[in-house]
Structure 1
Amino acid sequence: MSSIVRTAEPLFLLAGETAPEEELAQGLIDADEQVFAATYRRWSPLVHTMAARSLGDAREAEDVAQQVFLAAWRGRAGFHLERGPLGAWLVGITRRKIVDALAARTRRLRLTAAAAQTTDAPVPHQEASATDRVLDRVLLLDELSRLPVRQQEVLQLAFFEDLTQMQIAERTGLPLGTVKSHVCRGLLQLRRTLGEGS
């Protein structure tokens, strides 16, 4: 007995059964949401396990798993069955998303450490308590981490390393106009997001 019930429309599976990988791959390419749901059910345990083992954090692993399948759906036009099986393609996306998550974690830790170091420096005319300064700093660093990577880099060099825009251009290899644009756009975005929170 076949595990697949074919209708005029999409692929339906009986409980506990799986479709052949080629049919799942073709369904993904054809943007069939039901087939994509079957793809998710089939490979999400593997994706989640890989992420959990690499990251050591179940919540982060869930985020990575969601990112993997979102990337697979959005990038389905880039999948070609002749290059390899669907499972291998998903594992490749998983590895890249794990690397991205580890890099983001490293950035967060580095920014948190920088925030902790700067709160030890004396501030003239202190009106806010040390706790308020720490909270403000953490909020700022959190919002900074949401900016595009280049804007983060440029703003960190400008404000944490006190470099001029010309020095930033020399250090990063970016044109001076690009550095100025990153500073301006980054500050506008920070102003918008921090202004909404107040």
Structure 2
Amino acid sequence: MKEVVEIGRNPFAGPSLPDLMGEVARGDQQAFASVYDAVAGPVLGIVRRVLRDQAQSEEVAQEVLVEVWRTAARYRRDRGSVMNWVLTLAHQRAVDRVRSVEASAARETKAALLDRTPEFDEVTEQVEARLEREQVRRCLRTLTELQRESVTLAYYRGLTYREVAELLALPLGTVKTRLRDGLIRLRDCLGVTA
């Protein structure tokens, strides 16, 4: 039977934290009370550094200590000290709380912005869309036949430049040039600034 003595620890003071964690894993409430006494202060300290709010820090520290009780069997002595394991849990839980609070604030902000969005006027939208379509049709009529065909095939039928070139039996470079020139003329006709 090997006895592990922690540095700076009185060997007559009782079981070590790893030994106590083994007992906690078996449901020993007295062992948990000893672990609690040893880690509660550092847990609250690390959580408070992350959250900076006393009430939330106390709540998260309590959650961490409950998690230590519930998951004590997951502690592995060969992977590090009890204190590091518990403080890692505490830090993760505090960071999760920060993320949760930020996400909640973002949702509330988004909801507030949606509340201020003006009501949708369907008739106005339909009239504006019809006017825009008519303006686009008028501007398309100002293009050369090759420009109009190229733009229509590429942007209204969704063909690639290569497919447009094959369909029109033209070199790819010619189609690209006609598309570029046609789009420039459309932009100018529609009054869109570059």
Secondary structure at 1:3's aligned position in 2?
Answer: coil
Deviation at 1:58, TM superposition (A): 0.8
- Distance in 1, matches of 2:56 and 2:37, equals 19
- Distance in 2, matches of 1:107 and 1:51, equals 19
TM (norm. structure 2) is 0.51
1:71 aligns with 2:30: no
TM (norm. structure 1) is 0.50
The equivalent of 2:39 in structure 1 is: 43
The equivalent of 1:97 in structure 2 is: 93
| C-alpha distance after superposition, 1:113-155 (max 9, x if no partner) | 112212212459xxxxxxxxxxxxxxxxxxxxxxxxxxxxxxx
Deviation at 1:41, TM superposition (A): 1.6
1:25 aligned partner, one-letter code:
M
Which runs of no fewer than 5 residues in structure 2 stay unpaired? 1-9, 121-194
Deviation at 1:25, TM superposition (A): 2.1
Secondary structure at 1:75's aligned position in 2?
Answer: helix
Residues 107-118 of structure 1 mapped to structure 2, 5 A cutoff: 107-118=103-114
The equivalent of 1:7 in structure 2 is: none
2:94 aligned partner, one-letter code:
I
Q: Looking at both structures, which has the greater relative contact order when contacts are Cα pairs under 8 Å and sequence separation is at least 6?
A: 2
Q: CA RMSD, aligned part only?
A: 2.0
Deviation at 1:56, TM superposition (A): 0.9
Q: Report if aligned partners of 1:25, 1:81 keep a CA contact under 8 Å in 2.
A: no
1:87 aligned partner, one-letter code:
M
1:88 aligned partner, one-letter code:
N
Which runs of no fewer than 5 residues in structure 1 stay unpaired? 5-18, 125-198
- Distance in 2, matches of 1:58 and 1:71, equals 20
The equivalent of 2:4 in structure 1 is: none
1:40 aligned partner, one-letter code:
Y
- Distance in 2, matches of 1:29 and 1:85, equals 15
1:3 aligns with 2:13: yes
- Distance in 2, matches of 1:84 and 1:91, equals 11
Q: Report if aligned partners of 2:60, 2:94 keep a CA contact under 8 Å in 1.
A: yes
The equivalent of 2:166 in structure 1 is: none
Percent identity over paired residues? 24
Q: Report if aligned partners of 2:25, 2:71 keep a CA contact under 8 Å in 1.
A: no
1:3 aligned partner, one-letter code:
A
Runs (4 or more) in structure 1 with deviation over 3 Å come to 1-4
The equivalent of 2:78 in structure 1 is: 82
